[in-house]
Amino acid sequence: MTRSSVFARARATGRLWNTLLIALDAAIVLLATIAAYYARFDGATPEPFTSWVVPLVIAATLLYGVAFAVFGLYRLVLRFVGVDTLLRLAAATALCFAVLLGADVIAPLQAGMRPVPFGVLFIQAVLVFLGAAAARMTARVYLYLRTSHVGSGRRVLIVGAGSAGSLLLREIQNRPDLGLSAVGFLDDEPALKRRTISGVPVLGTTAELTEVVRERGIEEIVVALPSAPKELVRRVLNEAADAGVETRVMPELVIAKGSVDLRDLRSVDVEDLLGRELTPIDIDEVAGTIRGKVVAVTGAGGSIGAELCRQIMRFEPATLLLMEIDETRLYELWLELTSSGSTAPVMCICDVRDAPRLDALMRTHQPQLVLHAAAYKHVPLMEIAPREAIKTNVLGTLNVIEACRVHGVGRFVLVSTDKAVAPVNMMGLTKSLAERIMLDAVSSGVLNGVAVRFGNVLASRGSVVPIFEEQLRHGGPLTVTDPDVTRYFMTIPEASRLVLQAQAIGTPGDIFVLEMGDPVRIVDLARKMIALSGVPADIEFIGLRPGEKLHESLVTESESLEPSTRKKILRVRRSSAESTTFSTDVRMLIDAAIDARSGVMRELVERLEPGFAEREQLGN
């Protein structure tokens, strides 16, 4: 290995800087000692003290070197030297001064005097601190001047001029290899306007984002607001998307770490764009229905079912029955929920279409609360396989309700959907029938049941968002059914929290609708995801798929909404009653689905849901 390669390797690993720093500290101790004697004795050190100069230099050099090493002053990243470094340096210097002072006190007197005057040790400590601090700060300034080249890279706008934004700026300025150039900050703090941070100006407030992007030629935005309200972050991200600029977000963990790496930044996800602040729920009220009780969740491996299980675990149930047909997802969820040592979760392989299996599980565990989330939900697929939709969503619900009746379950909760409102597809029809089966059981006095109805859940399996994300990973195009199609959206955690709150306040026969906000145009969502990702993808319109609506509704024409006792939870007021043949017709529909009698199925569907065939045809 050549001398130059050894040198390069030492520099790359940081050993060169550390070696130079150790040598420099030794020189500082030597010079500080000489200067201390000079200052103490006005340049003429008396004879009794001169014999102790060399021993003091040797002892002090070794002691300061060890102390600096113990306090981590040789493990520094020099471009990040700051207040923390100075505090550690002060502590190490004070310790060395105290040790040398103690040694001087206990040393034998020389001609009735201390070997080293106290004043020398004090002046030496002050000069060592100043010299070592100056050396490290000089190194930082040198590295800053060497590596900061404003305007030579991709032009970045940082939103947020607080501690997170400052950490990000430091990383950008000290890493020219990243190819980024910080053009400026945006921040809503009035005191920061027209100020500069490390030479980078605060250009305005977040309300001026679009204007700043246009005037300054911004190529990338980083939102450094890890602790800001979601509403503010969402507004900034939507404006960035409208401006067509790639955007990344700084996560909350950065503040806890106290440092930032560009690898910490994440891409914008759809929850950033559409998510809301979680609505507070009445913890005590919900806990009263769960704590110490046996709770069962069907469809536990699904997006909503799994999140319900996670949130139920926080309320300390005695037992949580994870009822799921997918063995892999069931096992993965069980591992997750038991990772903290809890024995409450119990795996239950179960198909809700299998009545004897349901009966056996209910008889064994005697649940007091059942949340029924098991269902087929994929609209186009259920159009292809209507028999399966009926057997799972209708027969499965009937089986669960019957098992609840037989085994005296205290409360049953049906997780429903806005597609059950004036259904135009088999998935919506079967969920509508599930609601009506529950209401029929309640009116018969055999069930204490409620239903909770909501729209699309962000990032759930098979929904539009994961599809868009996968298409972006492949460079597009993003496929949208129709330019005008809209959907209601809610995050999985928010939907699950509100389901738990709704079941806690519900009375038998209640149907609740979760307040979903305004419907979102899917094409707008696609455009924003493209802009924020930085992927130059196109949008392709493919037409509505079988069974899809342009717009979803939360209630039918015969229903109305009224406030409940909790925010974002509305109660559905119904005016229609079931026919006397409803239960019989449902049983006949299930039998027709099992026996594959398609003509009879169509007849019974039209009898149960008049006008469905016409609506389905129009939808298709």
Give residue-wise pLDDT tens across range 424-444: 899 999 999 999 999 999 999
pTM equals 0.68
Which residues are within 8 A (CB) of 474 and not within 5 positions of it... i.e. 6 or more apart? none
Identify the pLDDT of residue 337.
96
Pairing between β-strand 486-487 and β-strand 520-521 as defined by DSSP bridges: antiparallel
Q: Could you give the C-alpha distances from 43 to 38, 46, 47, 117, in angstroms and in order? A: 4, 10, 13, 15
Chain segment 125-141, per-residue pLDDT in tens: 999 999 988 888 887 77
pLDDT value at 13 more than 80: no
pLDDT value at 17 more than 70: no
Q: How confident is the model at residue 152 (pLDDT cuts 50, 70, 90)?
A: low
Task: Write the DSSP symbol of residue 155.
Answer: E
Place of tokens 């145009």: 521
Identify the pLDDT of residue 259.
64
Identify the pLDDT of residue 388.
96
Chain segment 210-246, per-residue pLDDT in tens: 999 998 889 999 998 887 887 888 888 888 888 888 8
Mean pLDDT of 357-371: 96
Chain segment 296-350, per-residue pLDDT in tens: 999 999 989 999 999 999 999 999 999 999 999 999 999 999 998 999 999 999 9
Which residue of the set 377, 391, 419, 549 is catalytic?
Answer: 419
Q: How confident is the model at residue 57 (pLDDT cuts 50, 70, 90)?
A: confident
Chain segment 533-567, per-residue pLDDT in tens: 778 888 999 888 777 778 887 777 778 888 888 88
Q: Quick count: other Cβ atoms within 10 Å of Cβ 530?
A: 23
Question: Is pLDDT larger for residue 388 or for residue 263?
Answer: 388
Mean model confidence pLDDT for the chain: 85
Rounded Cα–Cα distance for residues 514 and 534 (Å): 34
Top mean pLDDT of 393-397, 464-468, 595-599 is at 393-397
pLDDT value at 6 more than 60: no
pLDDT value at 616 more than 80: no
Q: Set out the domains of the chain in order of their start, with CATH numbers.
A: 3-146 (no CATH), 154-268 (3.40.50.720), 283-619 (3.40.50.720)
Rounded Cα–Cα distance for residues 145 and 155 (Å): 19
Q: How confident is the model at residue 459 (pLDDT cuts 50, 70, 90)?
A: low
Min mean pLDDT across 273-282, 388-397, 600-609 is at 273-282
pLDDT value at 277 more than 60: yes
Nearest by Cα to 49 from 61, 59, 36: 36
Identify the pLDDT of residue 16.
66
pLDDT value at 144 more than 80: no
Nearest by Cα to 465 from 479, 482, 483: 479
Task: Write the DSSP symbol of residue 552.
Answer: -
Beta-bridged to residue 223, according to DSSP, are 159, 249
Enumerate long-range contacts of 96-105, CB under 8 Å, 24 or more apart. Answer: 96/60, 96/63, 96/64, 96/67, 96/125, 96/128, 97/121, 97/122, 97/124, 97/125, 99/63, 100/56, 100/59, 100/60, 100/63, 100/124, 100/125, 103/59
Rounded to 10 degrees, what is the CA torsion of 355, 360, 361, 366?
Answer: 110
Identify the pLDDT of residue 257.
60
Identify the pLDDT of residue 112.
65
H helices of 42-151, in order, are 47-50, 53-70, 83-106, 118-147
CB 221 within 8 A of CB 156: yes
Chain segment 581-601, per-residue pLDDT in tens: 899 999 999 999 999 999 999
Rounded Cα–Cα distance for residues 99 and 56 (Å): 12
Top mean pLDDT of 144-148, 250-254, 387-391, 529-533 is at 387-391
Identify the pLDDT of residue 10.
43
Identify the pLDDT of residue 256.
57
CB 491 within 8 A of CB 279: no
Task: Write the DSSP symbol of residue 392.
Answer: I
Mean pLDDT of 2-18: 52
Identify the pLDDT of residue 11.
46
Identify the pLDDT of residue 77.
64
Identify the pLDDT of residue 530.
84
Q: 391 an active-site residue?
A: no
Rounded Cα–Cα distance for residues 129 and 112 (Å): 31
Identify the pLDDT of residue 258.
60
Identify the pLDDT of residue 526.
87
Which token pair is 532? 């924020």
Q: How confident is the model at residue 569 (pLDDT cuts 50, 70, 90)?
A: confident
Identify the pLDDT of residue 171.
82
